[in-house]
Structure 1
Amino acid sequence: MTRAPARPPRRVALLGGGFSTDDDGLLDDWLLGHARGPRPRVCFVPTASGDAPAYVERFLNAFRALDCEPSVLPLFRRELDDTALRAFLLSQDVVYVGGGNTANLLAVWRTHGVDRLLREAYDRGTLLCGISAGANCWAEGSHTDSFGPLTYLRDGLGLLPGSVCPHYDSEPGRRASYRAAVASGALPAGWALEDGVGALFTDGRLTEAVARRPDARLYRVRAGEEGEVTERASTCRPLRG
């Protein structure tokens, strides 16, 4: 009897830093350590920033120095037809989504069918990751400033159960506003990342948490039966240069 081939693990990495914010490269090195195969193909998707040229240049400068094959997927001046776009995305080992506006990111992806292609890539074992909006997009909902003031967004690809809040320690009002959204039920329980943290999820479950700063934390944030909010810090392995 012939067995069906084993399904590859489906993985999402949430980043509280990386090439765009840090000079030490620790989180990017950690990320590439989880990529499949030697010299992985890493595609940067800068949609949330409107494909900002300086952001793209910073990615290319950082990842050309690493043992990988970097590329960029622009959508505001799209060059690939549907067939080529699917082939390109499904050939990647890592899809790295940049920060910016989460709501705009999701809208543009759906217009071009990128949301469906990323789900397919995820099921095939491509490591999906990102920072800020690029972390928010994978969950069912997120905490965002996409509309100006900090608020909740009950939208996302839903590959990661629950919600995500980035910049938990570095932006005024983030912590209180996210806790209030979870307490009220506006957002489901989720994960709050302080800057400097990396969190890897395999098939929706946290399998590794790391930190480039000794005081950086990843929190599981939940609402209790009486509406009180609890935070549970996950143990983060320190990254060393």
Structure 2
Amino acid sequence: MSSGTILALAGGGFSMEPDNPLLDDFLLSLVPRCGTPRVCFLPTASGDSDDYVRRFEEAFAAPRAHTTVLSLFRREHTDLRSLVLAQDVVYVGGGNTANLLALWRLHGLHEILVEALEAGVVLAGVSAGMNCWFQASVTDSFGAERLQPFDDGLGVLAGSACPHYDGEEQRRPTYLELVATGRLPDGYAADDGCALLFHDGQLADAVSSRPDAAAYLVHNASGVAVEEPLQVRYLGAHA
């Protein structure tokens, strides 16, 4: 696994909780304090949605951060490597996990992101932006009516991921079945409002923007998916 820092948001942040900045504030706190953090948004999974970009720019407007948007559909930046490596944070938006990864690979962005991670850029993302860092995940990329396993993630984090664990009715039972049958490797599941912090490929913290958000390590025990609750730290406890 690659060295560096990744914050995987199962749900929440500016796109899902616009009036609750706790997760986004926590993300910015991961950047060493030496001026205003530079945050680049990757809205690839949403097809570079203009509305999504607008919400990002409003949420991270100065003086909170210096913002950049990297669009692959319009490809306004020719030197992707220089752009990404100049950032403090790269924030990946939600949407279609499979399409996101296909387009990143087409443009060579996947290799640049791994290089950025190892160079000290904090990588983050919500939903599809959580799934993409893992080896595998459960996704609605191939039709929202039926969740399916996806095993072609970047693999900078080992195992599988399941965002929206409490936010969508079929997420939990589908993920448990896929892990129990071996169609997905062991991994992490987290409720909306929960984020998992990884340092050098290892889970370092689990935080939340609401008191009841939970997260689990899910593993296959002789054909049964077992949920081991993780200790989740509510970020508003001392607000």
With normalisation by structure 1, the TM-score equals 0.93
Q: 1:80 deviation in Å? A: 2.0
Partner in structure 1 of residue 210 of structure 2: 213
Tell me the SS of whatever aligns to 1:128: strand
Partner in structure 2 of residue 61 of structure 1: 58
Q: CA RMSD in A?
A: 1.3
Q: 1:36 deviation in Å? A: 2.9
1:30 aligned residue (26, 29, 32):
26
- C-alpha distance in 2, partners of 1:65/1:219? 35
Deviations 1:133-191 (A, max 9, x none): 00000000011000012011011110111011000001011101011111111111101
Tell me the SS of whatever aligns to 1:185: coil
Structure 2 unaligned regions, length at least 5:
none
Partner in structure 1 of residue 105 of structure 2: 110
What amino acid maps onto 2:87 in structure 1? Q
What amino acid maps onto 2:121 in structure 1? T
Partner in structure 2 of residue 119 of structure 1: 114
- C-alpha distance in 1, partners of 2:92/2:228? 27
Structure 1 unaligned regions, length at least 5:
1-7
2:224 aligned residue (191, 208, 228):
228
Structure 1 residues 64-73 or 110-119, which shifts more?
Answer: 64-73
Partner in structure 1 of residue 13 of structure 2: 18
- C-alpha distance in 2, partners of 1:17/1:212? 8
Structure 1 residues 202-211 or 52-61, which shifts more?
Answer: 202-211
Partner in structure 2 of residue 194 of structure 1: 191
Cα pair 2:3 2:201 within 8 Å, conserved:
no
Tell me the SS of whatever aligns to 1:77: coil
- C-alpha distance in 1, partners of 2:42/2:116? 14
Q: 1:59 deviation in Å? A: 0.2
Structure 1 residues 108-117 or 206-215, which shifts more?
Answer: 206-215
Partner in structure 2 of residue 173 of structure 1: 170
With normalisation by structure 2, the TM-score equals 0.94
Q: 1:65 deviation in Å? A: 4.8
Partner in structure 1 of residue 200 of structure 2: 203
Q: How does 1:72-111 map to 2 (within 5 A)?
A: 72-81=69-78, 84-111=79-106
Partner in structure 1 of residue 180 of structure 2: 183
- What is the total number of aligned residue pairs between the two structures? 231
